[in-house]
Structure 1
């Protein structure tokens, strides 16, 4: 801006000086010309008045005037236009002057004047004629430089003046531009203070700029207020989204990411150390189904919901368009992890199917033998035998139903857990004694190690846990085998370990032995419901514990349970 003001000042000064010089020259030239005209006329009137009273046949008087004023030319012309006398040329060589404008005008009006330009001399010649009393005409002429010749003669002076004016204009325009821009510069340098609402009287500001600066001041305060409100809303939204367990993503119409939370990065199994702002969605997730659905939503503007299985998780992905004036300008994606829900549903379906199957087997056996007895075709010995089978299958059925009921209770969401102080060592000894007959039948030695330390737990659940584990250790042990029950304290927990020297569990089945109704060998179906270890796992989880299993086929199995010391009686 300063440069523009400076150049404008300089240009204005140069143009003004040139125009002024030209105008003054023209004025002075016209003044000079007017003066010369008057002088020429006065000379003509003086000569005409004098020669009216003297005889001028020898024209000596006129010759004397010529000598005194060499710049003028005197000519005497008779009424027929013949030149009688001329101070500059021999009259005999001169042509008739009757048609000269100044002569014709003098004959007609008494006086006449004209100006003619000489291309040879480059000058204007002014003529003035006076009609004498005898009918002859006195003409006086004088040469003058025309305006262009005069301007040419004074041009060096004009150039000098213009150069001086330019020099002065450079100096003055620099000073003026600084002075003019000083308040503006001050306002610019302190724009932050003006925006922040400082008193404008502290600054030197043009009155013409005050409405503008006041408007800037007022609008800046409004903008600041609006920005603060937006920031508060943005912070609120960010806080909400960052604390969401669901994934949240905002995408532009060109599939560039403008916002996402950490849950979205984790659920899509993306790199959490990368900045995804303005990155294409494909960089965040390469899942084909999600990307295809995203393209459809951007194209059609319809809401879409899909279920994808990604990184061992079942994800419900809700993709909704963001519409403005009927045009899709982006997409909002909500990702919900429903893995537990779908696994629970899958488990429920499998559990229902397994329950139906496991209940059907003993019932079928009971009905079959009952029909045979009912037919009356059996002997007394067979009736007794079949009745024993029916009783056995009935007991198995009751045991199965009882296990299912216990599992259902363990699946419930307990709002209150009532714990007592339980002596695991004493409890293990008591339960081991209940298995003396079964153990002696296979010559199995049961060893309980540890001390009388107590842990906070549900007593009945602990009894069932020990019962199931010792029962399995005996049931699937070898003849002359060993079952070892060990209770020991660690820093923050109690460790319960039950190991046997039995047949062991194949490696491929070890991850599934805690599933409901899962049996390693179906031929053992008459010995097991397939629910014992599942119940054990649920009891451990109920007590916030950890269960681990190690087994080797032909060498036995070792189950280790860690129960934390600190338990809340009402958690």
Structure 2
């Protein structure tokens, strides 16, 4: 305030002095006017300059201090108000605007942090791309799926993230306004890219890219396609045989005395299809967790003892000794599934064993686990095939699979049964020496019940230590699920022999009780159509001929026609009329 008054006084004095200097010469005589002006002018200029210099200095200092205070007004308006009361209206307006800006900035910061937390915790990758292809924003999952490390570079193009043509094509189409999708392979992973265009008011403003790891889905799709193709082939083979035999019988080319042999052949092939379909249904029920049986307390030793008794005849046929060791071992589980698992393992130990071999079964209960172990002196498996033994229809030696028998689903049922019971499998094998498979079941009711109630889709915990592994024994149990009213039909009566085309063995296996079992297992044409059609057959012929050998089918067809020629006796008994087949 004092500085303002001093400045005003200086200005008044300067103006007064100037007026005096101008008026004073006018009061003098005219002849002396110009002489006086010339005399006073230097003094006037000197006084004026002397007074202007302090005013300029004072004004400059004042302006500078005022500017500094205005600068401080953005950060601290209170100090400015205390020194410059005349700036209070401006300061109040600035403070109000600053409060609004702070509120909006806090809201934006909070939203940005929430968005960052959400995107960083996404399993899917997210990329925001400008119209020129610059990456505006991304999350950690995007870089991980693209196989890149975290970068501090704020400017990089989306096309530098992946060099594949499909990636660039989808992104370019999205920037052009067309939504696109593609599956690209990155570091042995299948990654699905979905690109959505983002349009502005008048033109494209960019694109949003979403990346998802679909490796498991692609693997499941591949397994499903392979399974469908294999099922088509497995159903085609017996149906082809049945069709050929029925065609010959219908045309009257078969003698009356040979009808029984061909009928037995049809029955054998029908049994093979029935057992295959039953195994497929079991796997489907295990996959969908649709078993109606409840988890209960069972004695694993009693089930193992029953399985060994059922397989005793098959073991005697190969002169194999079965021994059972252990005692009462209680656990929580579904009896039907557990018996199926144990039967398949013991059945494989016999089928893939050598003549005069041994099969040792051991049941123990230790701590929180019930352990089932089966060892054999069989053929073992190569190292390269040990990781695939639980795949459906997988066999190490496809050329001898028909002689061994089975559907190729046995160990797959064991795997899904173990998943159902939250059990683990340990496999040890030595090529040419034998195989040992161990099942570890949880004994607590809570663990078994929880495993039985949850959907079964996770990978099985299969341990293959070191140089050991399991030989290929993808063979079924060939035992119907037990029904209360059909207890008299045993698994041995329903089980086809290893040589499905040996008539003498077939007569020993298929007795009169088979007809009743066949009635129970009969399925209609609609159910059969779900597993076999012409498209599936064509898919197998195109895709799987390289993997599945047809030598067995050729040998089988040749044997079939040889039997037909022997039955016809066209050359040796031309005079004997052919008898009409009985309906």
Q: 2:233: which partner in 1?
A: 357
**TM superposition shift of 1:253:** 3.0
Q: 1:166: which partner in 2?
A: 53
**TM superposition shift of 1:13:** 11
More strand by share: 1
CA distance, structure 2, for counterparts of residue 181 and residue 405 of structure 1: 88
Select the residue among 389, 396, 407 that pairs with 1:529.
Answer: 407
Q: 2:449: which partner in 1?
A: 568
Q: How does 1:412-427 map to 2 (within 5 A)?
A: 412-414=288-290, 418-427=294-303
* Structure with more relative contact order (C-alpha pairs < 8 Å, separation 6 or more): 2
Q: 1:68: which partner in 2?
A: none
**TM superposition shift of 1:531:** 1.1
Q: 2:351: which partner in 1?
A: 475
For residue 387 of structure 2, give the secondary structure of its aligned residue in structure 1: coil
1:151 is the counterpart of 2:41: yes
CA distance, structure 2, for counterparts of residue 351 and residue 554 of structure 1: 30
Q: How does 1:344-493 map to 2 (within 5 A)?
A: 344-375=220-251, 377-378=253-254, 382-414=258-290, 418-488=294-364, 493=369
Q: How does 1:180-259 map to 2 (within 5 A)?
A: 184=70, 187-191=73-77, 203-204=81-82, 209-259=87-137
Which segment drifts farther, 342-351 or 356-365? 342-351
CA distance, structure 2, for counterparts of residue 315 and residue 473 of structure 1: 41
The question of whether the paired residues in 2 share the 8 Å contact of 1:301 and 1:321 is answered with: yes
**TM superposition shift of 1:465:** 0.7
Which has more radius of gyration?
A: 1
| Cα distance change on mapping 1:264 and 1:454 into 2, 3 Å | farther
Q: 1:267: which partner in 2?
A: 145
Q: 1:499: which partner in 2?
A: 375
Select the residue among 187, 191, 205 that pairs with 1:329.
Answer: 205
CA distance, structure 1, for counterparts of residue 346 and residue 396 of structure 2: 18
CA distance, structure 2, for counterparts of residue 416 and residue 15 of structure 1: 108
**TM superposition shift of 1:375:** 4.9
For residue 449 of structure 2, give the secondary structure of its aligned residue in structure 1: coil
**TM superposition shift of 1:503:** 1.3
Could you tell me which runs of 5 or more consecutive residues in structure 1 were left unpaired when the two chains were aligned: 1-5, 38-125, 127-141, 195-199
**TM superposition shift of 1:468:** 0.7
| Cα distance change on mapping 1:147 and 1:535 into 2, 3 Å | same
CA distance, structure 1, for counterparts of residue 169 and residue 380 of structure 2: 49
**TM superposition shift of 1:18:** 8.7
TM-score by length of 2: 0.64
The question of whether the paired residues in 2 share the 8 Å contact of 1:267 and 1:337 is answered with: yes
Name the Cα RMSD after superposition. Answer: 4.1
The question of whether the paired residues in 1 share the 8 Å contact of 2:7 and 2:55 is answered with: no
Residue by residue over 1:534-567, the C-alpha shift from the partner in whole angstroms, topping out at 9 and shown as x without a partner, is 2112212222333344434322233343444523
CA distance, structure 1, for counterparts of residue 292 and residue 13 of structure 2: 103
TM-score by length of 1: 0.66
For residue 222 of structure 1, give the secondary structure of its aligned residue in structure 2: helix
1:510 is the counterpart of 2:386: yes
